[in-house]
Chain A
Amino acid sequence: MNRPFGVDLGTPSGIALALLPEIVVIACALVLMLVAAWRHGDERAERLVGQLSLVGLIAALATVIWFWASNLYPSRTVPEMITLDPFRYALDVVFLLGAIGTVLLSLGYLGRERILVPEYYVLLLFATAGMMLMAGASDLLVLFLGLEVMSVSVYVLAGIQRRSAASAEAALKYFLLGAFASGFLLYGIALLYGATGTTNLYLINLQLRGGAGDHGLMLLFGVALLLVGLGFKVSAAPFHMWAPDVYDGSPTPVTGYMATAVKAAGFAALVRVLITGFGDAPGIWQHLVFWLAILTMLTGNLVALAQRNVKRMLAYSSIAHAGYLLVAVACGTTLGGSALVFYVLAYTLMTLGAFGVLSVAGREGERDVRIDDLSGLAKRRPWLALAMAIFMLSLLGFPGTIGFIGKWYILTAALGAGQQALAIVLVLTSVVSAGYYLPVVMAMYMKDETEPGTIERAGYRLGAGARAVVFAAALLILAFGVWPSQALSLANQGGRALRPAPPPVIVLPKD
């Protein structure tokens, strides 16, 4: 690692440097908006915009990696609006990988489904920039800004398939409930400001440490509302009602994006707020998150059992995984944070891969893929079936896959924090999850096609991009499942950054 060098976030150039990854993404989005306005309406233009957006995302990814490798740190000791730490970088990598994967999946999918809207990629870039702001925020207002940039873009993406009633319904539902959740979040921020006099997470932390034990009602309500708002974004039960309908109705690559990157961003914000801001006062929030986690794991896993439609099944499975991630949050420790970072990466790989397979499994114009539609897939498309089986086993948490290492890490964190009950609920609900992941494997390998020719009709034409995503995800899942050391140590850096130790010397601003 290079010698660390300080960035003065008080100067415009310092801020610009610190926000370079976000700036790269947004600049690219703006340029693409012009390109899209210039050349509109045909498939070639759309592909061009998609390919250009890949360039922007990869440039941003390179910037993030450069930041991480060169070990930047804020040189001034006053609280800043944004952070420069491995937590932010790790999450940025996940968001960018998720976005790159989504673009690659979309390249073939949009053409096939006749969604000729080049702005699709522009929105994707804006959403990604919003997420990156959320992960980098050390101030509740920046966090809220990021959240809104992300959410508004994703609302539109959900409804981008204008001719489909389901897509419109999904977008409307997501928008109405999402706007409501944003309201909760904003009100929570306002109450926190009222209680502590600041929106900066480090200052809030300092306040709580100073006035230990004295948590007024305003503070409690503020935290609770914040949890509601972010709980909605990560689809934690009981705020998950929107997720199945929205996932089901949106175009499949968008669903993959919502299930992975959007969820990861919600969790990034959640742990940043709870562990950095309220880490010294776990009494306020830990029991709330505890029950949220249990409820989410139970709801997600039990309801997923009853699904016959693969997309809805994956929607509920994503709720279940939100529950596992909440276990990591409920630990309230930096180890929990590390586990969360690692699991978010694992979850992104396996879910994006699974949605990648689904995006080619759907018949043209038809959004339902039932589990039985996958019957006999192993015979016709052995590699695709193998990849899907790897995704399912990894989601199940089977050794040899990254999903297992991720679950193991969360369990370690939970037991380290004395949360035995959560660990036990986690493994028991994981057993339940075998009841819906395995039928997919069974359908592919152990059943014959229900009606001959299903698979031909269903297409299963993977574009080069989608193929790259599916097989890269499968390979990474296995590689990290067997050699996780590097990824674990990076995740560990990310988690540790949540509680900078020793705490930064903070000079209170004069007002």
Chain B
Amino acid sequence: MTAFLNAIGYGHWVLDALLVLPLLAALLVMVTPERHAKHVAFWATVVEFVVSIGLWWAFDPHMSGMQFEVIRPWIAAYGISYHVGVDGISLFMVLLSTLTMPLAVLGSWKYITSKERAYYALMLVLTTGMLGVFMALDLFLFYVFWELMLIPMYFIIGVWGGSRRLYAAIKFFIYTFVGSLLMLVAILFVYMTVGAHTGVYSFAYGHILANAGLVRQWTFWLFGAFALAFAIKVPMFPFHTWLPDAHVEAPTAGSVILAGILLKMGTYGFLRFAIPLFPHAAFDPTVSAVVVTLAVVGIIYGALVAMVQPDFKKLIAYSSVSHLGFVMLGIWAVTVQSVSGAIIIMINHGISTGALFLLVGMIYERRHSREIAVYGGIARAMPMFAAILTLVSLSSIGLPGTNGFVGEFLVLLGAFQTHPWAAGIATSGVIFAAAYLLWAIQRVLFNREPDAENAKLPDLSRRELVVLAPLVACILWIGLYPQPILHRIEATTSGWVAQMRHGMPDAGLAHGPAGEDAP
């Protein structure tokens, strides 16, 4: 495989192709007849996935730096370039995105009945935006992609969403916009300051990272601006209030993408930008304590609120707050295990929560209700559905043997070394997760049916099985044999952790053992 990829020069064009392909496909969708739009979009996303999958083999797991880099000048006079690349962290975010997109398109097959061309074109533009965020190695370019994916999502929620879609759409937009504009000021400030001191005005990530020490005296402000943008996106408690609205009102595919990919941009932003550029602020004892506390609060709060939701979709939305809390805890624990675990949770959450949203969408298409109380006893009518929902829920809970277990286990293992108290409390989040999901499954699948109609629901169609099968396969594969993934993440995370620990010898990590925790 590797030889074949080398023969076609895969590494030189793959990232460009991944970014350009969806845009071309979007144009193509706009000119195809309305009823064929979804077919074009589906095959485009499948091609995109096939193109991206080569990264799995072409990626060199022993390198901790960037791979497949492409640099081209864009606005050369101001040091802005088109500069993309992937490392072990972004690799899986890219693969997760390209895997999710065809499933999201298939999941919209019957749900979207109006203005299909525009819908699928926006989905494809969104793909470029998301991939761009994960690949960009130029802060200006990153910002452009970061904002770019806002517009398609805004339209997807606002045009094809549920009854309160306008409110949800504008809330989503404005929350994200506040954070990102302050981040823009911070990016420009770093650019100007670094430029003034080094004489090289450039937005290149490497250049700014190497000279980040020059902004040391403003590090708290700058970290704050970046952190706000990312914390809103994650979303961390108490910035999460846009999430339930957006997730619930968005069409199924919108929720899948929001939960599966967009939330990861927040945690990815912390890993790639906010923390490496401003380690002194990020791991300052106070900041660190605040972040870890908020992460733990998010874990518990998200789980408790999920428990009392009568709306199945909202329940899943709140469970995201809880899961992303684990990611934040893992990142701030700064051990190789916890950071690897955090990345694994980012992948898992995309798979499991994506699958849950798809499942809810499937029963919504049958009964046009998201209320848990409407369902009950549908396991008899829909045995396939019941089996898959149960499996996915168990993975979301973190049952050993499923993917969810691997990530949470690693995070807690790592976090116990540096933040034992927080890790201890966070563990209870796993128990809460079991409570809210199992209870929800019981009420949806079993119990007595409140409505005779439930007994007549058709089971999953072939299309729906095709949508779910890859996700189920990933759940079991990552759960049973995560080694290939861990292997590809490892070099990057240990490089990252070593760099962070080296960067701030005195701050924040004094109470944690360093160095000896390589697995």
Contact = CB atoms under 8 A, between A and B. Distances in A.
* B-side interface size class: 20 to 34
Interface stretch (A41-49, A53-61, A122-130, A438-446): A438-446
B158 A442 contact: yes
B151 interface: yes
A485 B158 contact: no
Interface in B169-183: 169-170, 173-174, 177-178, 181-182
Contacts of B289: none
B75 interface: yes
A54 B76 CA distance: 36
* SS of B interface (majority): helix
B192 interface: yes
Contact of A442 (B166, B181, B182): B166
B457 interface: no
Nearest to B189: A415
B185 A411 contact: yes
A485 B73 CA distance: 10
B147 interface: yes
Nearest to A445: B159
* SS of A interface (majority): helix
Contact of A400 (B144, B166, B169): B144
B165 interface: yes
B182 A424 contact: yes
A193 interface: no
Contact of B188 (A423, A438, A445): A423
A460 interface: no
B230 interface: no
A393 B177 CA distance: 12
B411 to A, nearest CB: 34
A435 interface: yes
B155 A415 contact: no
B220 interface: no
Interface in B158-217: 158-159, 165-166, 169-170, 173-174, 177-178, 181-182, 184-185, 188-189, 191-192
A412 B192 contact: yes
A431 B159 CA distance: 22
A285 B57 CA distance: 63
B116 to A, nearest CB: 14
Contacts of A489: 77
Contacts of A412: 78, 188, 191-192
Contacts of B388: none
Contacts of B158: 442, 445-446
A344 B143 CA distance: 23
Contacts, number: 76
Nearest to B218: A420
A341 to B, nearest CB: 15
Given A435-B174, A485-B77, A399 B148 contact: yes
B22 to A, nearest CB: 15
A446 B78 contact: no
Contacts of B76: 485
Contacts of A415: 185, 188-189, 192
Contacts of B182: 424, 427-428
A434 interface: yes
A412 to B, nearest CB: 6
B77 A431 contact: no
A199 interface: no
A239 interface: no
A430 interface: yes
A423 B184 CA distance: 10
Nearest to A393: B151
Given A415-B189, A415-B192, A446-B169, A399 B181 contact: no
A8 to B, nearest CB: 34
A416 interface: yes
B76 to A, nearest CB: 7
B201 to A, nearest CB: 9
Contacts of B174: 431, 434-435
B75 A399 contact: no
Of A399, A415, A427, A438, which is in contact with the most chain B CB atoms at under 10 Å from its CB? A399
A73 interface: no
Interface string A395-406: 000111000100
A271 B182 CA distance: 27
6 A-B pairs with the lowest CB-CB distances in the bound complex, closest first: A427-B181, A399-B144, A446-B158, A399-B147, A415-B192, A431-B178
20 contacts: A393-B151, A400-B144, A400-B148, A408-B188, A411-B185, A412-B191, A416-B192, A420-B185, A424-B182, A424-B185, A427-B185, A431-B174, A431-B178, A442-B158, A445-B158, A446-B166, A447-B166, A484-B75, A485-B77, A492-B77
